[in-house]
Amino acid sequence: NVSQPQPCNQSEYVHFWDRSMSNSDRDEEELTETQCLHDQIQSNKCFLHEIETHRALLLRDIEEYHIDKQACYDSKDVMSIFRRWIEIAYRYSPSFIALPNAVCLSTVDSERYPCGRMVLLKTIEMDNAQFIFFTNYGSNKARSLLQVSDKASMCFYWHLLDLSVRIKGVVRKADSALSDKYWRTRPKASKLSAIVSEQSQPIASKTELERKYMAMEQTYQDTQSEHVPRPLEWGGFTLTAEEIEFWNGHKYRFHDRSIFKKQNDKWRVVRLQP
């Protein structure tokens, strides 16, 4: 049941719709380094033109799929669009987009609350429209996926480009060989962190966690990184997409939205209102 609106006569509100203020409205001495850098970027016409060129290119890419309203597409076609979008985001990394593969993963917990958190997309599989990330199988997200619901969603947002991709699908544990392959690429320190941390479990203090890590360092001090074993409770998850929406932001919230939906192993595209 939806709760009734609460009376607001004694409530304190902090509004963000009026927070934007041009630098002309501020005193010169109030300008921070961040604001000054923002001004420099906004006045760099070549840089802004490059961004708009990339945005227009990706928009035209999507428009081609709307020409034939009855057309069906393979997973690889839709994944190729995603690959082009994220590769454009990588062009601005790390200076302007620190982690283009950062994505909000949303699951449902045991109390039926939707829960979102940021993870790093590590691999995509083109032929089956799969998105793969890695985590501790005892973490909250893993328990939600393994014990509550195998359905999840992902949402990418690249603020500089004003582009977003939203994905919905079913999640399964990744093949152990793929988890082993990725594990071998991780720095030794990251491997030890993954072994030490009982992810999402309480701990008395940060000092205790650091003590556990230092003890693990001693255990593996003479072991080369490639010989640090992957714990069985750590590995990958694969989200097999059933819907992928591509969002291209525009002024006055007049955004372009195109959603691809999978039906009988083929994909159809629909334009959505902003």
Question: Rounded CA gap, 93 and 239, in Å?
Answer: 25
Q: What sign has the CA pseudo-torsion 90, 86, 108, 113?
A: positive
What are the tokens at 109? 């917990």
Q: List the catalytic residue out of 26, 143, 253, 271.
A: 253
Helix (H, G, I), strand (E, B) or coil at 133: strand
Helix (H) or strand (E) holding 170: strand 163-173
Q: Return phi, psi of residue 76, to 5°.
A: -65, -35
Question: Rounded CA gap, 81 and 155, in Å?
Answer: 15
Other Cβ atoms less than 10 A from the Cβ of 54: the count is: 19
Tell me whether residue 271 is one of the annotated catalytic residues: no
Runs of H (alpha helix) within 5-116: 33-42, 45-63, 75-90
Catalytic residues, which ones? 253
